[in-house]
Structure 1
């Protein structure tokens, strides 16, 4: 009879510059990397936002690395949908209450 190998929980360390964006799912985060890999983390988006203050919180469920923002699409009015297109063609919605701050932060990173 084959002996089962015990499950090894992996600890992943990744550099912030390899992270495109993070999406939240209750008390977990999905970390989307440049390589296309998605890692499930037991940390919250709030924790990541505190660790990486230059990342931009665009929505309650999304935190993005401003380096990899490909396009910013703003709706014609405040009530219309605004969203970001990331380098991997993912579309992330911008919360209507955060549109002004996201535009300002993206403008600052583009000027540097």
Structure 2
């Protein structure tokens, strides 16, 4: 299902298994890849590229893509004035855009 991705980086090419990735954050046209072991790598690919290559990852908003296997907690706001977010396995909170909340909740109810 998942394929190893070879990603160019400054010191050469780094090989990533998707199951070792907690989440990705967007930084302009680059992505920061946050791994289970706590390391962070910068990739020249944007989040859209990763979302297409790893379809099981969830897009929370325009700057975050998460591996749902490592979502520790989902907090849904009762009103639009407060923010919904996910807490990842490493205790990092990532916000969910208002337009994507229903899709994210639906995904986790199906699991």
The two structures share one fold, judged by TM-score above 0.5:
yes
- For Structure 1 versus Structure 2, the TM-score category normalised by the shorter chain is 0.7 to 0.9
Structure 1, unmatched stretches of 5+, are 1-7
Aligned length in residues? 102
The alignment yields a C-alpha RMSD, in angstroms, of 1.0
Who is 2:4 aligned against?
none
Who is 1:5 aligned against?
none
- CA deviations 1:13-59 (Å, max 9, x no partner) are 11000000000011100000000000000000000000000000011
Q: Which has more strand, going by share of residues? A: 2
Within the candidate set 53, 56, 59, 2:58 is matched to 56
Mapped contact 1:23–1:31 kept (Cα < 8 A): yes
Segments of 4+ moved more than 3 angstroms: none
TM value normalised by structure 2: 0.88
Mapped contact 1:79–1:96 kept (Cα < 8 A): no
TM value normalised by structure 1: 0.87
Pick the structure with greater CA Rg: 1
Who is 1:3 aligned against?
none
